[in-house]
Amino acid sequence: MDTKITVYPLLFIIILASMVLSPPLSGQTIPVITHPVNDYANIIPPKREVTIAAMLVAHREKTGVHAAVLTVPTTQPMSIEEFSIKVAEKWGGGSKERDDGLLFTVAVDDRRMRIEVGYGLEGYLTDLRAGRILNGIREDFRNNDYGGGIEKAVEQIIAATDELRPGQDVPAAARVRGAISIFILRFHMIYVIMGAAAGFLFVLFKRRQAHRLIIGEKTAAPRWRRIVSILNTILVLLGIFAVIPVLLQLFLPGVNLWAPGLFITGALVGIGISGVIMTPPWSVAAMVRAVIPATISLAGIVVCLHVLKPLPDTETIQESILLAILIHVNVFQLMFIFLDSEGGSGDGGSWSSGDSSSSSDSGDSSWSGGGGDFGGGGASSSW
């Protein structure tokens, strides 16, 4: 951003005093956010801290958005997701009417960071966009330039929420965008459901095409109809198994390509189950062959993505395991579909005590929250 920030000498003196007078955080304590920048890990240079605090104060005055930065040595034994939401809920950043609070947490020893977003800002800072902001400052953190990285992230957060104005209701469209983003990115089984729906529609399309060919043969229809039917089928298959997965990876990327992988798995499952259901007489064996891959896929999603909870936007063993499961399941699913078609069965975290800490002061009487609600929106990353 090109916004010029004026750093007042008094603000600088207050920050220096807070570094000396602020009591150290003790274990098993959820910190209280009372300033724009709460540097309990003591990793932000004082001058940079003043600049970041001034940026957040100016942004709040312009937009009403209530954002804060928190640094701690570690969030253990809690994950940064659990720790961040507990701090945000205790703080209650943002107004109760707009839920426009935001908390940027950095755990230095854990090498983890997270942006926690209030309900009202989820349309402006989707999980995907928040993840990209964090990815953009990894190199700064790896070079121990924590102050520079945090300032870059704050600049992007300000740019993303700059449309809002104090007292203005968050547009319904923004809330809808946030809700859709959270639903799609968090409930990973939606990809399988979308794929299964596409597979079901494909089977319907094929049955309709076959019906038209039968009628064409009886009425001596021209041969080009069969060629058009084959071309249509190829185009539909390309759309389901190539175009849609590519679009998912471009606009809703996941680690190790699991987003399009889940969709393709769902499409094959949908084709297998729909083929069995729509082609009587039903075969119990064929139905079992269609249901087993779907069950394995759903179990893999639940365990690898929801129970083990991999790190967003970071390559982890969980996604690698899930990708291997999906590849094998898809191979067997294709074999089952081929067999069935051949057979006629179917077409408070704790951290080290005694560490020095500092908290910036914006000149306001308090940076306490106004009752804003946080629904777990945001993103986490590591460096």
Same domain, 289 and 358: no
- Is residue 1 a part of any domain in this protein? no
Token pair in block for residue 265: 């798995």
pLDDT of 222:
61
The Cα–Cα gap between 275 and 169 comes to 49
Instruction: Find all residues with CB under 8 Å of 148, minimum gap 6, and list them.
Output: 48, 140
Same domain, 376 and 275: no
Same domain, 204 and 293: yes
CA dihedral (48, 49, 52, 53) positive or negative: negative
Q: Which residues of 332-359 are buried (b: 16+ CB within 10 A; e: fewer)?
A: ebeebbeebbeeebbbebbbeeeeebbb
Structural domains in the chain (count): 2
Place of tokens 């945000």: 88
pLDDT of 341:
62
Q: What is the DSSP letter of 206?
A: H
pLDDT of 173:
65
Same domain, 208 and 330: yes
The Cα–Cα gap between 177 and 146 comes to 31
Same domain, 329 and 287: yes
Q: Which among 160, 151, 146, 149 has a CA at the least distance from the CA of 50?
A: 151
Same domain, 272 and 178: no
pLDDT of 46:
94
In contact, 217 and 236? CB cutoff 8 Å:
no
Same domain, 336 and 358: no
Cα dihedral 38, 314, 305, 111, rounded to 10, equals -30
CA dihedral (190, 310, 297, 334) positive or negative: positive
pLDDT of 182:
57
- Is residue 309 a part of any domain in this protein? yes
- Is residue 45 a part of any domain in this protein? yes
- Is residue 2 a part of any domain in this protein? no
Same domain, 30 and 179: yes
Same domain, 179 and 195: no
Q: In what order do the strands lie in the sheet with 112-118?
A: 358-359, 37-39, 66-72, 101-107, 112-118, 374-382
Q: Which among 370, 290, 374 has a CA at the least distance from the CA of 333?
A: 290
Residues across the chain: 383
The Cα–Cα gap between 276 and 268 comes to 12
In contact, 363 and 38? CB cutoff 8 Å:
no
Same domain, 374 and 310: no
- Is residue 140 a part of any domain in this protein? yes
Same domain, 193 and 226: yes
- Is residue 348 a part of any domain in this protein? no
CATH of the domain at 169: 3.10.310.50
- Is residue 44 a part of any domain in this protein? yes
- Is residue 71 a part of any domain in this protein? yes
Q: Residue 250: how many CB atoms within 10 A of its CB?
A: 10
pTM assigned to the model: 0.54
- Exposed / middle / buried, residue 246 (Cβ in 10 Å: 0-12, 13-18, 19+): exposed
Q: Within 13 Å and on the Cβ side, how many CA atoms surround 290?
A: 29
Domain ranges, residue 215: 188-343
- Per the DSSP assignment, residues forming a β-bridge with 359 are 38
Q: Which among 352, 298, 302 has a CA at the least distance from the CA of 329?
A: 298
**Beta pairing, strands 112-118 & 37-39:** unpaired
Same domain, 33 and 152: yes
pLDDT of 126:
80
pLDDT of 26:
44
Tens digit of each residue's pLDDT, the chain (383 residues): 444 444 445 555 545 444 444 444 544 488 989 899 999 999 999 999 999 999 999 999 999 999 999 999 999 888 898 899 899 989 988 888 888 899 999 999 999 999 998 888 888 888 778 888 998 999 999 999 999 999 999 999 999 999 888 877 766 666 666 556 655 556 677 778 888 888 888 888 877 776 665 555 555 556 677 787 788 888 888 888 888 888 877 776 555 567 788 888 888 888 888 877 777 676 777 777 777 877 887 787 777 766 666 555 455 677 777 778 888 888 887 877 776 665 544 333 334 333 434 555 544 546 776 666 675 556 667 77
pLDDT of 141:
95
Cα dihedral 120, 121, 124, 127, rounded to 10, equals -120
